[in-house]
Amino acid sequence: MRDDDAWILALAASAAILLVFYSSRAGASVLSSAGAGTGAGTGAAMGGATTGTGTGTFAATAPPYDPVGQLLGAIVPMTVSPAGIAFIKQQEGLTLTPMPDAGGAAIGYGHEIAAGSFAAGITLDQAEALLASDIATVESTINGAVTVPLSQQQFDALADFVYNVGSGAFLSSTLLRMLNAGDYAGAAAQFSRWVHSGNQVLPGLQSRRLAESQLFTSTAIG
């Protein structure tokens, strides 16, 4: 057994022990709240979570009580799925030679570089390595900033968004603030605001934001 496998098993065992205690208390609390409050009151207390369709209409619901997912989610960070990686690749496109980009240049799958660097180009393997490194940074940003549960599709949509706009922009965004407040519908609506380059609205960014929003609401928590 590898050391990292043993570490994960140890965390899982600890999580199971904590879960018995956590569920015995939190489960009773949820049952008590369900008997005492209305649906609207529960939604407000839990952040007014919503589920959405691809058409942009939302139906108010309360997020499911999932102590197992919440506990394990706090221990094992989420990662971009293979489908999410394919989504990023599709949105970015691939170039093995430097191409002009906003504020500089890019190579591979939208990897930002200094103008004049990588003049000889890169291989496909190098492009994949740069992508993996950039995605790891994106994953770390989302896992460190988002404080509410996410479905895999929501995480993948956020990953494409952060990959495109950058970690700094995401961390200071209204989208993140609304999401962490439990306003999933409000967060989904924020994607469409990020379509400008300077003072111009770019059709390419409009299409990308629409695709991210549709992915975010396709299979939702909240």
Which residues form the catalytic set? 92
Q: 82-93 in b/e burial notation, b at 16+ Cβ within 10 A?
A: eebbebbbebbe
Rounded CA gap, 151 and 83, in Å? 13
Nearest to 208 by CA among 194, 190, 222, 218: 194
> Could you give the CA distance from residue 89 to residue 195 in angstroms, rounded to a whole number?
19
Q: In the numeric block, which tokens belong to residue 87?
A: 């989504």
Exposed/middle/buried for residue 199 (C-beta within 10 Å: 0-12, 13-18, 19+): exposed
Inter-residue contact 54 to 218 (CB < 8 Å): yes
The residues with which 101 forms a beta bridge, in sequence order, are 104
